Amino acid sequence: MKGLALLAILLWQAAAANEPPVAQPGAMRYERAIQVAGDAGQACAVLDAALFPHAAPSLTDVRIFSVQEAAAGAAAHEVPYAITLSEAASEETESARVLNLGAGPAAGKGGATIVFDLEMPAHSYSDVTLDLDPAVHDFIATATVTGVNALGGHGRATALGSFTLFDLSAQHLSRDTTIPLQESTFRYLHMELHFSPIPGKPATRFVPAMVLGATVPPSREAQTVYTTVAETAAVTTKDRETVATFAVPARVPVERVSFVLAPGFTGNFSRVVKVSALADADKSDDDGRAPLPEMVTGSILRVHTSEAGREIRTEQLGVPAILGANLQHAAKVEVVIENGDDQPLPIAAVRLEMRQRKICFEAPASGASLTLFYGDSRLEAPEYDYARLFVASRTALVAELGPEALNPKYRAPTAPLRPFADRHPELLWIALIIVICALGMVALKAARNVGR
């Protein structure tokens, strides 16, 4: 029994050794000054790509300290913070129910009018995308939209405007059935679609059944804002492809690729884009396997033209590209535009982007300067009441991070980065199983003695 007690004490000590170290400015290798424009209150700074390679994964070692207090000899004051993403996670693309679908009066030679109502989600929205039969091609349509809060003529109607929808497949261009509204909250939208065929193309029957449904993406307030990770103007053309390459450091997130066209270019186009990522060849995962390449495809387009007396203007110069090959290792990212038989696009720049991340905190009223520290991989993510209860303010002060610098007061920790029990957790379980088995044997022996 004495041996079991000793083993229990050793287990307790091993568990205590797993307690994470306390964050200290002197134990962090990097620092960045924080400049706040304004007085006390909630302040937010955009986190750029330079932070990620030297911080711990998931930014668990990021801390903010009031450096004035530390310089005066007092204990360093840690300032709680919350890290936010630009996209509202609670909003997703939703469906709008089609009601009262039917045909309206004829709209000229070969044309048709389709009318219906949409039952909208119970929150603000902006864009509405109509799901029209993909088998119907080569058309121009004017969508006249009215907002109401009750059907059957019982509510006040508000005109929201007229918008052009189109399909220009015969011209090897694109199809656009999205209606860009102002931010609205109407319960219902009344739609009148006036279809016209493309001149010189075979007549098409436009019937109510071609309206298959509608979707509502997140409102523009909730849509994503991006921060540039890397940018290059060095693009090359080989065979039928335009190529741009990037070397992305470890742990830097890449979530979109966007393109900048040369000023003055007015051509229409629709091109396929391929984005590939491959981690460094000399790196491998923890199990020894080489990382696998990733591939993401998308398309970019621009259509500025007039068809059947109606102006069409649509543009999409970004491709969603969430890459994982570079989360733990540095990676080579290659962006390819497939030109086919067309002339290469005049690309002025190609950008890798990530969703905008902000670090928000309460700026002190005393005017004390703040510094962001990171570079201690031993630290676990902080747990702040401030982060759990955080509500973003629309009038938050703008804060900026200064350039990254080595912490002049940095001293390498003398303790191992990871305690022995943390590096070998299986030993703790083995010891625990041994104790349980030993206690079971003692109990069994005692039970036999009682039986005799």
Please indicate, yes or no, if residue 148 is contained in any of the structural domains. Answer: yes
Closest CA to 227 of 85, 35, 403: 85
pLDDT at 257: 96
Please indicate, yes or no, if residue 85 is contained in any of the structural domains. Answer: no
Please indicate, yes or no, if residue 83 is contained in any of the structural domains. Answer: no
pLDDT in tens, the chain (452 residues): 555 555 555 554 554 445 567 888 889 999 999 999 887 889 999 999 999 999 999 899 999 998 664 444 455 789 999 999 875 444 577 889 999 999 887 655 667 899 999 999 888 888 899 999 988 888 888 999 999 998 877 778 899 989 989 888 877 777 889 998 888 889 999 999 998 877 777 667 889 999 999 999 876 655 678 999 999 999 999 889 999 999 999 999 999 999 999 998 988 999 999 999 988 766 555 555 666 788 999 999 888 877 666 677 788 899 999 888 766 788 999 999 999 989 999 999 999 999 999 999 999 877 678 999 999 988 999 999 999 999 988 889 999 999 999 999 998 877 555 555 555 566 667 777 877 877 778 777 777 776 65
Closest CA to 318 of 305, 334, 302: 302
Going by the DSSP 8-state scheme, the letter that residue 286 receives in this structure is T
Q: Which two tokens stand for residue 112?
A: 């048709």
CA–CA separation, 365 vs 192, rounded Å? Answer: 56
Q: Are residues 231 and 332 in the same domain?
A: yes
Q: Are residues 190 and 113 in the same domain?
A: yes
Please indicate, yes or no, if residue 84 is contained in any of the structural domains. Answer: no
Q: Are residues 290 and 316 in the same domain?
A: yes
Under the phi-then-psi rule, with left for phi > 0, alpha for psi from -120 to 50, and beta for the rest, what region is 425? alpha
| CB neighbour list of residue 278: distance below 8 Å, 6 or more residues apart | 291, 293, 294, 325, 331, 332
pLDDT at 88: 45
Q: What is the 3-state secondary structure (H, E, C) of 252-265?
A: CCEEEEEEEECCCC
pLDDT at 72: 45
Q: Are residues 63 and 128 in the same domain?
A: no
pLDDT at 324: 80
DSSP 191-240: EEEEEEEPTTS------GGGEEEEEEPPPTTTS--EEEEEEE---EEETT
CA–CA separation, 419 vs 395, rounded Å? Answer: 44
Look at the block and give the residue holding tokens 């990212």.
333
CATH number for the domain spanning 170: value is 2.60.120
The last residue of a domain, from among 355, 378, 411: 355
Q: pTM here?
A: 0.67
Q: Are residues 237 and 351 in the same domain?
A: yes
Q: Are residues 254 and 294 in the same domain?
A: yes
Instruction: State whether residue 431 is helix, strand or coil.
Output: helix
The last residue of a domain, from among 216, 240, 257: 216
Q: Are residues 122 and 187 in the same domain?
A: yes
Domain range for 446: 1-18+419-452
Phi, psi dihedral angles at 27 (to 5 degrees):
-95, 5
Please indicate, yes or no, if residue 154 is contained in any of the structural domains. Answer: yes
Look at the block and give the residue holding tokens 């797993």.
18
Our count of domains for the chain comes to: 4
CA–CA separation, 115 vs 105, rounded Å? Answer: 10
**Chain centroid, CA 85 distance in Å:** 7
Q: Are residues 9 and 41 in the same domain?
A: no
Q: Are 406 and 53 in contact (CB under 8 A)?
A: no
Residue 266, Cβ density class (10 Å: 0-12 exposed, 13-18 middle, ≥19 buried)? exposed
H or E element, residue 182: strand 178-184
Report the first-to-last Cα separation within the chain, whole angstroms. 22
Under the phi-then-psi rule, with left for phi > 0, alpha for psi from -120 to 50, and beta for the rest, what region is 443? alpha
Q: Are residues 246 and 347 in the same domain?
A: yes
Please indicate, yes or no, if residue 28 is contained in any of the structural domains. Answer: yes
Length in residues, the chain: 452
Q: Are residues 73 and 187 in the same domain?
A: no
pLDDT at 407: 94
Please indicate, yes or no, if residue 116 is contained in any of the structural domains. Answer: yes
Q: Are residues 299 and 333 in the same domain?
A: yes
Q: Are residues 351 and 232 in the same domain?
A: yes
Phi, psi dihedral angles at 412 (to 5 degrees):
-60, 135
Please indicate, yes or no, if residue 412 is contained in any of the structural domains. Answer: no
The last residue of a domain, from among 167, 191, 216: 216
Going by the DSSP 8-state scheme, the letter that residue 59 receives in this structure is G
Cα angle, residue 288 at apex, residues 284 and 289 outer, rounded to 5°: 70
pLDDT at 281: 64
Q: Are 135 and 209 in contact (CB under 8 A)?
A: no
Q: Which two tokens stand for residue 445?
A: 């022996």
